[in-house]
Chains A and B, each alone.
Chain A
Amino acid sequence: MRDYLRTHEGEMRLVVVLAALTIYLSFASPIFLSAGNLASLLNNNSVNVIWAVGLLVVLIAGGIDISFAVGASVAQYLTALALISIGGGNWIFGLVFASIFGIAIGCINAALIAGFRIISIVVTIATFNALFGLLMFTTSGKSIYDLPDWWTDRIAVASLGSGGALTLPVAGMVAAMAATWFLISRTTIGRQIYAFGDNPEGARRAGVATVKIQFIAYGWTGLMAGIGGLMQVNLAQEVVPNALIGRELDVLAAVVLGGARLGGGRGSVLGCFLGVMLVAIVQNGLNLLGVSPYAFKMLIGLTILAAISLSNFDLGALLTGGSRRRGHVDNH
């Protein structure tokens, strides 16, 4: 436990901030701690968390993926078309289709990044544009409303009390978190993903199959994008091709807020969850306190800036008189 606190200092800070915020909001607004509000917080943010843990794996591997939200839209649309063409299907078919389409899109990114050695941000900005253009062009922006009933029916998986039912996407979120945690913390593949992001050359010399590792990382992000897209239909009751655009940056910010390092080698599933929830609770709180929605984005931006600056800020050094050595180089 002591080790956990030491190696997860960032997550612990977020827990403290979240706890303080929760206590404040529970006094400031009677609705905040109500079962209905908490359940809708979790229901509405479950998809972001699924995407966040997917993105996390690529960030740990030292890459970045801007295209996953568009990827989710494409996978969602293709899944809808595939399900309609087989006459409806069920959750199993939905999961299989969404996973296959999602992984395929992730593998396109991996092939470009690992195969052609192009920097990941450039590749995924390109695939973001290409996929979005392709989707809008081929669908003419048409939404699909006539979806199988099993897909749009609300399924309560747990209750927080009266009016507070957690729906299927929350179960999806929990499963995605557990699977991602298992992958990155409990399997040798996961540890090689960390190592590759931390020191690619060192990993290569140690015999890590670096191309395979990147395919797994981007494939995982694609898988989570697909599953997130599938779950999002359950929340939204419709497939709208451009509905998910723009959420990639919110999720990226939340993952970084949760302690993942742009540049690789660091990040955790718990951090992702906390990062997404912090942004969500700030927004929810502002809403309940009656702050103008026009101020949301600004305040959330400031929250992220404050949290990230604080985590880079060595409080200890400040208190002991700032005797940190200048010009100290952290080699390698």
Chain B
Amino acid sequence: MTEPSPRPSIPASEAIRFEHVSVRFGGVLALDDVSFSVGQGEVHCLAGENGSGKSTLIKVIAGVYQALPGVRTDYFGESVAAPTPQLARRKGVAVIWQDLALFPEMTVAENIAFDGLVGGLRLVNYHAIRETARAALAKLGVELDLSAPLKSLPISGRQLVAIARALASDAKLVFMDEPTASLTQTETDRLLSVVRTLSSTGVAVVFVSHRLAEVLDVSSRVTVLRDGRLVGVFDAEGMTQSRLTELMTGKQFDHAVTARDVGDAPIVLETSGLTRQGEYSDVNLTVRAGEVVGLIGLIGAGRTELAHTLFGMSRANSGSVQLSGSAVAFTSNREAIAAGIGYVSEDRLALGLVQPQSIADNIVVTTLKQISDADGLISVAKKSAAVAKGIGEFAIKIGQPGDAVSTLSGGNQQRVVLAKWLATAPKLLILDCPTVGVDVGARDGIYKIVRGLAERGIAILMISDEVHEVYFHSDRILHMAGGRIVAEYDPRRISIAELERAVYA
């Protein structure tokens, strides 16, 4: 465990300084004597796992939650006894939540100037709204069509609108919650340049995230929280995602590369020259039986699009796919499942599981034929046998098989998804970001299961945007960028730092 290093250069004037922040929810201490400060115009990272207290801290600063007595709260050098949301906003604190909280059907101008529309009955001054919006966008140095409906903008454009909205209400400290989660590399770059502009005009920005490798560059300090406590404040310079992960989890992970040779095990999946216009091009890859191939790439690299084609959900324009030596061209994912392909979607919440249905129903949904009797009705005995097998094999922690899947933790939900697909006896399993939404501590269990599946001879293509994941848990790494596979690495012959540089560069 690395000792927190004292921060050498404390900024001259501070935007906020919060000391001895403790928050209690029922019997749980969500924040325990945490201190947090941001300099004016500083770009700061607030890092921590889910449940570490990041959001609670932001809500205290935004005046939504009250801290326990003993707290000291300064906004721009002024001590405030009990901050409220209105007061925090007046002091210039704005929070841009991950969902942006914008209005898709309304125009860009109305979204930016929305604070001026809130409240009692007044006439709308559209001219003033446009002027406000124009001025806010000018501060950001970007131009957007003011009368376009917000929904016509891509996510990155909407994010700019959300920032402009914060500036329109004179924000001097902007919190951005998971800002890069759904951005492509180009969009992230654009966001970072906007952040630099803001910083140079004295507006402080705090990135709140568990994945910060992309924003460390523009930041000067990183505050790390764990289990509601302050781990420390660190210089961003020299910080790496791996060190950050250690700080966030407090665990020295057993960082052994698990890669091994599968020799000349039969090739299960082979693509050649696979191209789908606008999504990916000239993809050549092979996955052998028992092999875990990591496909790393940032959002927008074409990874998921490629997976959709392999799984029969979209069709390539050219190139070929061979499954166990025979050419296949699926027209639907039913065909892909029948041919022995399983796909664990990155959007587990929406696509991977039927959340309100029971754990049991979710496990058997892919194998309804197998558990049915000759009359076509589901056999209760066969179903409970299949469910028991899945739950036992994957050590899923559940109350009752009849409980809704939504009652499970992220890690256990992912186990249900894996059990569901294993029941189809796949030859090839495509895992799209298998640990998204799974706490770092619970990820090891998922990786062990993946390894166990590979040892049974299943070929595994593991798509990820976390270098960590593919480096330590795959046999071979393919790097995808701009729709192409640009490099192949053997984790045993490259350091994680080198791989991080290659991917995030």
**Interface positions of A (Cβ within 8 A of B):** 3, 6-7, 185-192, 194-195, 198-199, 201-203, 205-208, 261, 265-266, 323, 325-327, 330-332
Q: Which 9 pairs of residues, A with B, have the shortest CB-CB distance? A: A202-B101, A265-B105, A198-B103, A3-B147, A191-B117, A188-B122, A207-B118, A198-B105, A188-B117
Task: Judge whether B147 and A265 touch: CB under 8 Å.
Answer: no
Query: B103 contacts which of A187, A194, A330 (Cβ < 8 Å)?
Result: A194
Chain B residue nearest to A205 (CB atoms) is B101
* Cβ B123 vs Cβ A186 within 8 A: yes
Q: In the docked arrangement, what's the CA distance between A191 and B122, Å?
A: 10
Q: How far is the CA of A206 from the CA of B123 in the complex (A)?
A: 19
Q: 10 interchain pairs (CB within 8 A)?
A: A187-B123, A188-B119, A188-B122, A190-B124, A202-B99, A202-B101, A202-B102, A331-B182, A332-B99, A332-B102
Beta-carbon nearest neighbor of A202 in chain B: B101
Query: Cα distance A119–B325 when bound, in Å?
Result: 54
CB <8 Å contact, A266 and B102: no
In chain B, what residue has the closest Cβ to A183? Answer: B121
Shortest distance in angstroms between A220's beta carbon and chain B's nearest beta carbon? 13
* B277 contact from A7, A266, A323, A331, Cβ within 8 A: A323
Docked Cα-Cα span, A201 to B121, in Å, equals 21
Q: Kindly report which residue of chain B lies nearest to residue A189, judged by CB atoms.
A: B121
Q: How far apart sit A210 and B331, CA to CA, in the bound complex (Å)?
A: 47
Q: In the complex, A205 Cα to B101 Cα: how many Å?
A: 8
Q: Determine if B278 and A187 form an interchain contact, defined as CB atoms under 8 angstroms apart.
A: no
CB nearest neighbor in B for A2: B147
Measured CB to CB, the nearest residue on chain A to B182 is A331
What separation, in Å, do the CA atoms of A278 and B147 have in the docked complex?
29
**Is the C-beta of B313 less than 8 angstroms from some C-beta in chain A?**
yes
* Total number of B residues with any Cβ neighbor in A under 8 Å: 36
Write the nearest CB–CB distance from A207 to chain B, whole angstroms. 5
Query: How far apart are the CA atoms of A326 and B120 in the complex, in Å?
Result: 43
Are A187 and B118 within 8 A (Cβ)? no
**Given contact pairs A191-B110, A325-B278, A331-B155, a sample of 9 additional A-B residue pairs in the complex whose CB atoms are under 8 Å apart:** A186-B124, A187-B121, A188-B120, A188-B123, A199-B102, A202-B101, A266-B105, A323-B277, A327-B305
Which A residues are CB-close (under 8 A) to B304? Answer: 327
Bound CA–CA A132/B277 (angstroms): 58
Contact: B313 with A326, CB < 8 Å?
yes
A201 touches B278 (CB 8 A): no
Closest to A203 in B: B103
| Known interface pairs A192-B118, A325-B279; A185-B124 also in contact (CB < 8 Å) | yes
Q: How far is the CB of A125 from chain B (nearest CB, A)?
A: 23
CB distance from B154 to the nearest CB of A (A): 10
A196 CB, nearest partner CB in chain B, Å? 9
A230 to chain B, nearest CB (A): 25
Expressed in whole angstroms, the minimum distance between the Cβ of B280 and any Cβ of chain A is 12
Contacts of B158 in A (CB 8 A): 332
Q: Determine if A195 and B119 form an interchain contact, defined as CB atoms under 8 angstroms apart.
A: no
* Alpha-carbon separation in the docked complex, A3 to B120 (Å): 28
Quick check: A187 and B124 within 8 Å, CB to CB? yes
- Docked Cα-Cα span, A90 to B119, in Å, equals 37
Determine whether the beta carbon of A191 is less than 8 Å from that of B101.
no
CA of A189 to CA of B117, assembled, Å: 8
Determine if A195 and B103 form an interchain contact, defined as CB atoms under 8 angstroms apart.
Answer: yes
Task: Specify which of A7, A194, A195, A201 lies most central, judged by the most chain B CB atoms within 10 Å of its CB.
Answer: A195
Cβ of A139 to closest chain B Cβ, rounded Å: 38
A195 touches B278 (CB 8 A): no
Collect the chain A residues with CB atoms within 8 Å of residue B305's CB: 325, 327
Q: Which residue of B lies closest to A204 (CB)?
A: B101
C-beta contact mask, B99-131 vs A, less than 8 Å → 1, else 0?
111111111001000110111111110000000
Nearest opposing residue in chain A for B105, CB measure: A265
Closest B residue to A60 by CB, please name it. B105
B99: nearest chain-A partner, CB-CB: A332
Tell me if B121 and A323 are in contact (CB < 8 A).
no
B104 partner residues in chain A, CB cutoff 8 A: 198-199, 265, 332
Report if B314 contacts A (CB, 8 A): yes
Q: How far is the CA of A323 from the CA of B313 in the complex (A)?
A: 15
List the A residue with the shortest CB-CB distance to B101. A202
With CB as the reference atom, state the residue of chain B lying closest to A265: B105
> What residues of B have a CB within 8 angstroms of the CB of A191 in the complex?
106, 110, 117, 124
Chain B residues positioned under 8 Å from A203 (CB to CB) = 103
Give a binary string over B139-169; 1 marks a CB under 8 Å from any A CB, 0 the rest. 0000000011101000100100000000000
Closest Cβ of chain A to B179, distance in Å, is: 14
In the complex the two chains form, what is the Cα distance from A188 to B277 in whole Å?
45
Contact A199 B121 (CB under 8 A): no
Contact A188 B114 (CB under 8 A): no
CB neighbours (8 Å) of A326 from chain B are 308, 313-314
Interface members, chain B 352-375 (any A CB < 8 Å): none
Asked if residues A206 and B182 are in contact (CB atoms below 8 Å), the reply is: no
Smallest distance from the beta carbon of B102 to chain A beta carbons, Å? 6
A198 and B106 contact, CB distance less than 8 A = yes
Q: A194-B103, A199-B103, A331-B155 are in contact. Are A323 and B278 (CB under 8 A)?
A: yes
Q: Which of A185, A191, A198 has the most CB of B within 10 A?
A: A191
- Which one, A7, A188, A325, contacts B121 given CB within 8 A? A188
Given contacts A188-B120, A192-B118, A325-B279, contact A330 B151 (CB under 8 A): yes
Q: Are A199's CB and B308's CB within 8 A?
A: no
State A332–B148 Cα separation when bound (angstroms): 17
User: Which residue in chain A gives the minimum CB-CB distance to B347?
Assistant: A329
Find the residue from B97, B117, B120 having the highest chain A CB count within 10 A: B117
Set of chain B residues within 8 Å of A327, measured between Cβ atoms = 304-305, 308, 313-314
